[in-house]
Amino acid sequence: MKKKIILKRFLHRDKSRLFFELPPDCYDSFIPVIRSINGNSYSKTHKCWYADDDEMTIKQILRAFRDIADIDISSLAHKPENEQLAASTKKVIISGDGPGLVSTFNKNEKQDAEPEIIPDLESAERLVSRPGFDPVEFRINETDNQLAIRFTGHYDKEWINEIRTFGRFYWDKTRKEFLLPWSIMTGDSLSDYFSSRGVEVKTVKPVPSEILKSSRKEIGDEIRVRQLNEKALEGLDLMKRHLDEIRYSNRTKESYLALLEFFFRYFNIKDPLSITSMEISHFMHDFIITNGYSASYQNQMISAIKTFYKISGKGHINPRIFERPKRSRALPKVFSKDEVKRILNATRNNKHKLLLWLIYSCGLRRSEVTNIRLTDLDRERGILHIKEGKGRVDRIVPVSAKVWEKIDEYMESYGPAKYLFEGQTGGKYSSESVYRVFKTALHNAGIKKDVGVHSLRHSYATHLHETGLDIRYIQELLGHKSTRTTEIYTHVSRLNLISVRSPIEDLDVK
């Protein structure tokens, strides 16, 4: 029978701590395990060991002792006080036997009564309340290039001192949030600071007001019904032929042509080649800025307009004069390894499971996983050949032995003819279907995050970096070629990439 360890929450040196109450006969054998826990130390005042009080540490403790002791976490349902917390009316015992069952029983009940069974360790972790700290909201203001940080509830005063280290900031009394200049370093560093303390960081997307949305629709509808003159139609035809010749993707072609057509309709009867730089400047301000469109939309519009005037070779426009707006950089949305495990285990359908496994274990985009042909899989070399990824760049990625097993199971059940993933009527699986599979898995895993499939690719890269893999290898694995994405691109020998161990090997997924 396993020994029992009681976790209690105390205020020690002005901070909430987790104190270990150990059985005397196991004291020496449990100390080495406690030394592996985050923020471990010994209190001479209380004459016992303690650790950091945050969600990550609680999970670490549960896993560290899972196979060697039962953990009583009943006291953790309360906030810390200056004296020992009273035991709650309900006890929770986590057992390491078998798959890990959690039994709960009321303090006044007889202990031989039939307990309520809650399955698995993850369910037990959800019973443990957060250490008193509520999420922190990050909001990026595209117009002013500012980062707004708001504490949504109970917080640690040290957080304010950390924000001060990033230079000048302003406290907005009305919105009750801190405002400081936005940069990638500031955003990433502060996000890492809060996450490392078990505090959830929520990135809030600014949502246009209903009035603004209504105004956009009214103005946009009026512009879209304007007639295109003959010169504008010729310009669109010229643009289409150019995009076909340089083999832009269908999505890019559709986007550029739609934006350029809207631009021509805005100026209605004017010959596109007679439009001046000043008129374009007014269009950018009066339509895009005034109606609150994003910097990303403005950038796309500029790209479409620049491309047209570059290939037309005429007119009053010099494509070099266009200035692009400063773009905000949204914080990367990354899952923890535990969250990835829950997502990958959230479906029993072999096809859906393999889809998600490949996206995470190989760092694929949605379009890349649907474009995989059977001939792209090289079992002997243990690689997947990604052909014409983003920017029509080929690359190879190593495939984990664990994933090859899943591929074999899938092939035996489905027997695809041409593409690895095919629709019900043949042909390749649609990107929309991949999105629905991911969202269903997210829901089944109990993860409430506003994220897309691409977050699995971000997580793949992040987890590789956390294991110490050189960033140059990660760039090659992800197929990043642009210096705007990677800052410094260094070609890496593909031979070395074959030996890279996928992070999926470290996950307990079946």
Q: Which domains does the chain have, with CATH numbers?
A: 3-127 (no CATH), 136-204 (3.40.1170.30), 210-321 (1.10.150), 337-506 (1.10.443.10)
Look up 489 and say whether it is catalytic: yes
| Catalytic hit among 90, 202, 390, 481 | 390
Find how far residue 503's CA is from the centre of its chain. 16
d(CA 378, CA 398): 10
Q: What is the pLDDT of residue 331?
A: 53
DSSP 325: P
- Only one residue has tokens 């230079």, namely 167
Q: Which residues contact 354 (CB under 8 A, 6 or more apart)?
A: 403, 406, 407, 410, 421
Look up 365 and say whether it is catalytic: yes
DSSP run (H or E) holding 180: strand 177-181
Q: What is the pLDDT of residue 335?
A: 83
Look up 395 and say whether it is catalytic: no
Tens of pLDDT, residue by residue, the chain (510 residues): 678 888 887 777 767 788 888 887 777 788 888 888 878 888 877 788 888 877 778 878 888 887 788 887 766 655 554 444 333 333 333 343 333 333 333 433 333 333 333 334 444 444 343 445 788 888 876 555 678 899 988 888 888 888 888 777 888 877 788 888 877 667 767 876 787 677 888 877 666 667 777 888 888 889 988 988 899 999 999 999 999 888 887 878 888 999 999 999 999 888 888 888 888 888 888 888 778 787 778 888 988 998 898 888 766 666 666 666 655 555 557 788 889 999 999 888 888 999 999 999 988 888 889 989 999 999 888 889 887 655 566 788 889 889 999 999 899 888 888 999 988 667 788 888 888 889 889 989 988 877 888 888 888 887 777 776 766 777 777 776 543 443 322 333 333 445 567 888 788 887
d(CA 306, CA 409): 50
d(CA 302, CA 323): 9
Q: Residues 233-258, buried b or exposed e (16+ Cβ, 10 A)?
A: eebbeebeebbeeeebeeeebebbbe
User: Is the dihedral angle over the CA atoms 395, 477, 368, 507 positive or is it negative?
Assistant: positive
Q: Is 291 exposed, middle or buried (0-12, 13-18, 19+ CB in 10 A)?
A: middle
| Catalytic hit among 8, 59, 197, 480 | 480
Adjacent-strand bridge partners of 378? 383
| Catalytic hit among 342, 457, 460, 463 | 457
d(CA 405, CA 401): 7
> Which value, in Å, is the radius of gyration of the alpha carbons in the chain?
28
Look up 390 and say whether it is catalytic: yes
CB 180 within 8 A of CB 170: yes
Judge if pTM exceeds 0.85. no
Nearest to 332 by CA among 445, 474, 252, 449: 449
Contacts 24+ apart (CB under 8 A), 59-65: 59/125, 59/338, 61/7, 61/18, 61/37, 62/94, 62/121, 62/124, 62/125, 63/121, 64/33, 64/36, 64/37, 65/5, 65/30, 65/33, 65/96
Look up 480 and say whether it is catalytic: yes
Look up 248 and say whether it is catalytic: no
pLDDT tens-place string over residues 15-27: 778 888 888 777 7
| Catalytic hit among 365, 366, 395, 428 | 365
3 state DSSP class of 181: strand
d(CA 39, CA 491): 40
| Catalytic hit among 337, 454, 472, 481 | 454
d(CA 417, CA 191): 45
